């Protein structure tokens, strides 16, 4: 039996206007999420090789 630990890292930056933009990364350092007050929330998915296979914006456009 094996177990896997998933570790996510969130990094935030503040722009000149005071808005906070946050990027979330998985344990393989792939960005899996982006939260931006202007652009909305984005999500990113990868295949088993670590290649980006889709990104979805705040309007659910792939």
Task: Tell me how far CA of residue 36 lies from CA of 4, 12, 15, 50, 51, in angstroms.
Answer: 30, 10, 10, 24, 23
List pLDDT tens digits, range 35-50: 999 889 999 999 999 9
Higher pLDDT, 27 or 3: 27
pLDDT of 2 strictly over 50:
no
Residue 50 DSSP symbol: S
| The pTM of the whole model exceeds 0.85 | no
Residues comprising the chain, all counted:
62
pLDDT of 31 strictly over 90:
yes
pLDDT of 28 strictly over 50:
yes
**Given this model, what pLDDT does residue 7 score?**
61
Looking at every residue in the chain, the average pLDDT score rounds to 85
């Amino acid at each position: 039996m094996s177990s896997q630990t998933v570790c996510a890292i969130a990094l935030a930056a503040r722009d000149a206007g005071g808005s906070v933009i946050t990027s979330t990364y998985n344990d393989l350092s792939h960005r899996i999420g982006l939260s931006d007050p202007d652009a909305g929330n984005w999500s990113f998915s990868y295949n088993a090789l670590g290649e980006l296979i889709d990104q979805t914006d705040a309007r659910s456009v792939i």
